[in-house]
Amino acid sequence: MRYPARRRPRRRSVLLSDPTTAKLPAAPVVSQHPRRKEMFLSQEMTDDDEIGLIEEGDEYSQRLASMTFRQMTTRLPLLTARSVALAWRVDRPAVIGLLLCQAVSGIAEATGLLAMAGTIGALFSSGRIVEHLLAAWVSVLILVSATGLHAILGIVTNWLSSRLIPAVQQEAEILFLEATLNVELSAYDSPGFRDRKDAAERGAEWAGDLFSTGQNLIASAASMVAGAVVLAAFHPLLLPLLVIAGIPQGWAQIHAARTARMAFTSTMSLSRMRYMLRWHLSARETADQIRTGTMTPFLMRRYRQVAAGLYESQRRSSALGARASLIGAAFGGVASGAVWAVLIWLLSTGRLSAASGGAAAFALRSVASGTRGIANAGARMFRDGLYFQDWSDFLTEAGGYRINRGETAVDRVHEVQVECLSYRYDGAERDALTDVSLSVRRGEVIALVGENGSGKTTLSKLLAGLYLPTGGAVRWDGADTRDMDPHAAWKHTAVVPQDFARWPFTARQNITQGQPLPGGDKVIRQACEISGAGDVIDDLGSGLDTLLTRDWAGGEALSGGQWQRIALARAFYRPAPLLILDEPTSALDPRAEHRIFANLRELAQDRAVVLVTHRLANVSIADRIVVLEHGQIIQQGTFDELVNQPGRLRELWDLQNDRAIVPPQRDNQHTERTTP
Ligand SMILES: Nc1ncnc2c1ncn2[C@@H]1O[C@H](COP(=O)(O)OP(=O)(O)OP(=O)(O)O)[C@@H](O)[C@H]1O
Ligand SMILES: [Mg+2]
């Protein structure tokens, strides 16, 4: 189980207001430092409650947060094109249908408005209305047909949109996941990457909306053009006035969208924290520890603080948005008033007939709602475009961590050599490994030994080509891991990591990892026999077909050690020449552990085996033992050599075998007291 990385803040939290009076939750404080955002929630907190989120805001997120209207509008056409291309890819008939519907709908609306002038003229002329209406039957028929067609097209548009939007969203999510699977593992050590990934994930959710907003924009534009064509025929002055009336509203909407977006980027870390807390609070994996540790009050307090920080930011952003809308509405109202004043003036001065005035009023409403729709849809496109941009950028460069190594093909591995290797984690102040040199060949077992944090897991990940060295080199049969096609290379690795995955699939899929070998179940059974997973499978209700999770009906739960046997079977099943076992028997009982080590030499016959373990009795089977300390090799040799000479291994060995430090307690007094 992985817990979210938490760093200590470098300074104490800042009190935002008088602590004696303040009862409201504090908002996160975001420093103005261009390279660093710091967030602290402070009020009513004890030391334990302090939420120490320090975010290294990189240039990219700074740039995104401060994107201007002009920058966005220049990108919007490109983003819209990308969203249309996405829609085109998933459902071409729906895209064509939607575009056709919009075009025909606009024409129907314009025709209806024009027909309305004739109909209203008939209604307003003196004499019997029925006779006039009968005389103007063509106009009435056109008006009724156009209105009906417009309504039907609206329904078709809704149907096509609701079919297309989820498909676009799903495709955007799939593309996002594919991009995520194609990043260097080291990306996950960078907070900047996590921000971009979160933003892109959000962008994928909005991808469908960008397309539908584009639809609304087209519909509003069609409606506006239809009304404008009609209106221009009555009096050209009305048109520019209406357009001007829409501008303040558009400005207000865009302003609100930008404010909301800035609130989102500045609270991404808090959002992530809330998500993590929610997971930890509700997950099965932590449920027992929350209860036995009586952690509920602490965790809920923390959750409320994080939620309050987010709420505060959202509250401020919506207040700013509402203020902008108010200003926009005020200016828009004045402009609309002017339009109606002009219309009344045209009517009263006889420049417009009553019939034309009536039709113009309808056209005015049509243009006004079109302008309003354009402003709304434009602002929403601006907002969606900002998120979609995150998604699009992530796809293009995978958050800056796309795997971009060479193409050297790897078809076999006989030897892995490590030369003067050093590795430093992203943002770390010192190397996790320094100047490490060693090699492991097929047929050999090497054991990595050392105290916690000495660099064993890091080294095993570099050997597997999961990380690339920051200094020196790791070579597989002479080929540098930097130059190798990694996906081809990983076909040659079988790894049991310290935190192995417990896939919510069947036992069979957990072992084959979705890549069954030609031998069928026989090969699975062989791997299970070596790892001890055979006994586990035999006890399952549906054998290999049992679902290994209780989250669905029919699933079964395994113990920690049983899971480790499955993880080992997974590695032994894989016909890979490089076998890396990081603490592979930590949860196994003595019999199961004995079985693994009894079989390891045989497994090593056609494999290079790297074994990381703290149980030194087990390392005696290794051909060579490498002792690490603070990321450096301090000893190397066979078990007999190292255990018989002074040094770290001998020291650790003695400690592991020393059980005489704390003698068993003999409570003589108690015995005496209770003896009759
Ligand atoms: N993702 C990471 N980001 C930054 N530093 C890391 C990361 N993972 C490990 N480290 C640091 O690298 C050093 C070596 O860690 P590593 O996990 O390789 O140790 P280890 O020898 O496997 O320890 P253990 O016996 O506890 O498993 C430690 O100081 C650790 O803090
Ligand atoms: Mg480790």
Token representation of residue 1: 């189980």
pLDDT computed for residue 396 by the predictor:
83
Q: Which tens digit of pLDDT belongs to each residue from 165-212?
A: 899 999 999 999 999 999 999 999 887 788 888 888 888 888 877 877
Say how many Å lie between the CA of residue 474 and the centre of ligand 1.
Answer: 19
Q: What does the pLDDT read at residue 31?
A: 33
Check residue 246 and give its pLDDT. Answer: 67
For atom 18 of ligand 1, the residue with the nearest CA is: 455
pLDDT of residue 649: 92
pLDDT tier at 284, thresholds 50, 70, 90: confident
- Nearest alpha carbon, ligand 1 atom 19: 453
Residue 417 has pLDDT above 90, yes or no: yes
Q: Does residue 458's CB lie within 6 angstroms of at least one atom of ligand 1?
A: yes
Is the per-residue pLDDT at 628 higher than 70? Answer: yes
In terms of pLDDT, which residue wins out, 356 or 286?
Answer: 286
Say yes or no: CB of residue 432 within 6 Å of ligand 1: yes
Of 148-157, 416-425, 496-505, 619-628, least confident by mean pLDDT is 148-157
Q: What is the Cα Rg of the chain in Å?
A: 35
pLDDT digits (tens, 9 = 90+) for 334-346: 877 887 788 788 8
Q: What is the pLDDT of residues 63-75, one digit of tens each?
A: 555 566 666 667 7
Rounded alpha-carbon distances, angstroms, from residue 7 to 266, 329, 537: 18, 46, 42
317 close to 212: Cβ distance less than 8 angstroms: no
Please indicate whether residue 461 or residue 366 has the higher confidence score (pLDDT): 461
Q: Do the Cβ atoms of 206 and 384 come closer than 8 Å?
A: yes
Ligand nearest to the CA of 188: 1
- Ligand number nearest to the C-alpha of 496: 2
* Ligand nearest to the backbone CA of 430: 1
pLDDT for res 245: 66
pLDDT tens-digit profile of 209-237? Answer: 787 787 778 778 877 777 777 777 777 77
Query: What does the H/E/C string look like for 469-514?
Result: CCEEEEEECCEECCCECHHHHHHHEEEECCCCCCCCCEHHHHHHCC
**What confidence tens digit (pLDDT) does each residue in 302-343 have?**
999 999 988 988 888 888 888 888 888 888 788 778 877 887
Order of strands across the sheet that contains 632-637: 493-496, 578-582, 608-612, 445-450, 624-629, 632-637
The region that residue 310 occupies, defined by phi over 0 for left and psi between -120 and 50 for alpha, beta otherwise, is alpha
Give the residue among 646, 645, 649 at the shortest CA–CA distance from 617: 649
Phi, psi of 509 (to 5 degrees): -65, -30
Atom number of ligand 1 nearest to Cα 628: 21
The domains found in the chain, sorted by start residue, are 78-235+379-390 (no CATH), 415-655 (3.40.50.300)
Most confident of 190-204, 403-417, 505-519: 505-519
Summarize pLDDT for 555-610 with one digit per residue, the tens: 999 999 999 999 999 999 999 999 999 999 999 999 999 999 999 989 999 999 99
- Ligand 2 mean position to 459 CA, how many Å? 9
Return the pLDDT at 609: 97
Torsional class of 256: left (φ above 0), alpha (ψ -120 to 50), beta (otherwise): alpha
Residue 230: burial class (beta carbons within 10 Å; 0-12, 13-18, 19+): buried
- 578: phi then psi, degrees, rounded to nearest 5: -110, 110
Q: How far is CA 234 from CA 96, 335, 343, 352, in A?
A: 34, 19, 10, 7
Ligand 1 and 57: CB distance under 6 A: no
Each residue's pLDDT tens digit, 423-441: 999 889 999 999 999 999 9
Residue closest via CA to ligand 1's atom 1 equals 189
Beta-sheet pairing, 493-496 with 578-582: parallel
**Ligand 1 contact, 453 CB (< 6 A):** yes
Q: Where do runs of H (alpha helix) occur along 267-353?
A: 268-282, 284-292, 296-348
Q: Is residue 92's pLDDT more than 70?
A: yes
Range of weakest confidence among 43-52, 255-264, 315-324, 518-527 = 43-52
Distance (angstroms) between ligand 1 centre and the Cα of 454 equals 7
**Is the CB–ligand 1 distance for residue 460 below 6 Å?**
no
* pLDDT value at 97 more than 80: yes
